[in-house]
Structures are given as C-alpha cells and as structure tokens.
Amino acid sequence: MTQFHGQVAWIAGATAGIGRALALEFARRGADVVVSGRRQERLAEVVAEIEGLGRRGLAIACDVRREDEVAAAVQAIEARFGRLDVAVANAGFGVIGRVEDLTLDEWRRQFDTNVFGAIAVAKHSLPVLRRTGGRLALVSSVSGILASPRVGAYSASKFALRAVGLTLAMELRGSGVSCTLLNPGFVSSEIGQVDNQGTFEASRKDKRPAALMWTADAAARVMVKAIAARKREYTFTGHGKLGAFLGQHFPGLMCWLQRDDRSQTVKLD
C-alpha cells in the first residue's frame, strides 16, 4: 500500500463521511494528507488518525464558498510540503424541496458549495498539480445523472459539476494532470443530517435507504482506486450504476416511476 508514497493529497471537505474516509485511505496508501473544512475540531481528529497511520497530516480551516480561503489553503499546502499531487473537491451538501417552494437564496447556497466551491478547488490547485503531473478529482453523485423529485437543486448542482468534470478531463488532456469525476450512489455519511442552510443536526434522521448504503470506507477504497487509475468518470454503487444507466437511457421510464405523487425520493449520496 505505497502507491502514493512521497506524495501529498488534499481532501477539501474532510470532516466526516466520504471525505474523512478518503483522507485515511490515501494515508494507508502512503500519502501525506491535508484535510480542510469548516469544523476545525473534526479536522484535528482526522489529522490524529492520519498520523496514527504513520503519515504526516495537516488541517486547514477552509470554507470552499470563500475563494480567498481556498487560495490560502493551496498556499499553506505548498509552504508545508512543497508540492501537491492529488486534490479532491469533496465538500458538498443537499438542499431538499420542490422547485417551486425553494427560495433563490437556497438555490444560490446549493450552487455556492457544490459547484462554485469545487471549481475554486480545481482552479487554485491546478497550477500546483501541473508541476507534479498530479490528479484532480471532483465528487459528484448519481444524482448528477438521474434527476428525482424534491431534490432538484441538489441534482442541478451535481449535473453542473458533472459538466465541469467532463470538460476538465478534455481540457487537461496532454497536460500530465488528470481529472476524475466520481458519482457515488448511497454512501453512509452525514449528508442526510444537514439542513438546507448547510447546518449539521445530529438528531436529524437520514431518510436514505439503509439497506442500499455502502460504508464510507468501502466507497473510499474504490474512489482512490479510480483516482489512481486516472479514470475520466467512475460511478458506483451497484444500485447507483443501475440508476445512472436508467437515467441516461430510459429517462421516460424513470420520470414515470418517480412521479412526485408516487415517490418520497431522496438524493443518492
């Protein structure tokens, strides 16, 4: 497990769930790992786990909605390690509600984090990644391929992020830097316990189907493998692949199956 030995990986949005699991998986594979997010006490815990695996860790308080903080995070990584080999834009949350009921502020909040935050991570990390022939990864969702009732804002942000990721894969061809778009299905995380303002509520019930849920550790293993292989796009889980296939090839069927009067659909990650 020394695939990333001597390399530095940055996970933006690493306080819990997939982000935390990605940080630990990269550490297991030999990388020194930088974690960033808004909850500093959580970041310190993740760094302790990274160091417990024998790797160097660095926690950086960073809200991806603030471009100046993203730029400062990259500068801090360069100052500490002198390089950056992997950047993963993982920060995100889901706004829930019917399109006609959501406020424009809720739509803006959704896009500020899920789309513009990821773009900021990509924009500011790419100059450093070009020097190392590194890897960029954007964490999208099966919801970026398959639309569902009551999660229009979340799906729209992930559809947009998918376009960004696929475009970057083309624009970076020949540069030595790869861009991997990751589309998870149901993965155990705190996303179902975050409200429309982006605030985590521990008492909030996650309404996603537990029987279809992957663990974050299992998700991290396949995601890091896809990033290492420089795949252009990788979709998982099994149910996620099925949903993505039907969403792409049988949109009429999925529209009928997911009619709002028949469904209590929730986002896929």
What does the pLDDT look like over 58-83, one tens digit per residue? Answer: 999 999 999 999 999 999 999 999 99
DSSP letter for 207, please: -
Q: What is the average pLDDT across 216-229?
A: 98
Q: How many CB atoms lie under 10 A from the CB of residue 130? A: 13
Interior angle at CA 106, CA 223 and CA 111, nearest 5: 40
Residues annotated as catalytic (active site), given as ranges: 154
Determine whether 94 is exposed, middle or buried from the number of CB atoms within 10 Å of its CB (0-12, 13-18, 19+): buried
- Write the CATH number of the domain with boundaries 8-257: 3.40.50.720
Distance CA 201, CA 194 (A): 6
Q: What's residue 269's pLDDT?
A: 56
Q: How confident is the model at residue 266 (pLDDT cuts 50, 70, 90)?
A: very low
Cβ burial 147-177 (10 Å sphere, 16+ → b, else e) = bbbbbbbbbbbbbbbbebbbebbeebeeeeb
What does the pLDDT look like over 191-200, one tens digit per residue? Answer: 666 777 777 7
Q: Where are the domains of the chain?
A: 8-257
Q: What is the average pLDDT across 107-117?
A: 97
Global model pTM greater than 0.85: yes
